[in-house]
Amino acid sequence: MSTAILLLLVLIGSILLTKYVANKIDPPFISPTSEQKEEIARMAKAAAVAVAYHAVKRRAQETDSET
């Protein structure tokens, strides 16, 4: 009887240890707060503006080099 209880405790301990290690390796998803969402939106807009600026600048240089 004591062997069965000991094996059950070992099994429970190994499950808890596996969950702990898995959470350390790949933590569960936590949804961003509203402030973080706003910051992500600002960064996305800034990146879009930068890409558009460089695209226009490159087209202007290509047009100048053709003439």
Same domain, 38 and 61: yes
pLDDT tens sequence across 8-37: 999 999 999 999 999 999 888 889 899 999
pLDDT tens digits for range 36-53 = 999 999 999 999 999 999
What is the domain extent for residue 36?
A: 32-67
Co-location of 15 and 38 in the same domain: no
Q: In three state form, how does the secondary structure of 13-64 look?
A: HHHHHHHHHHHHHCCCCCCCCHHHHHHHHHHHHHHHHHHHHHHHHHHHHHHH
pTM of the model: 0.51
d(CA 17, CA 15): 5
23 and 12 both lie in a single domain: yes
Structure tokens at 4: 């069965």
Evaluate the CA torsion angle 37, 38, 39, 42 in order and state its sign: positive
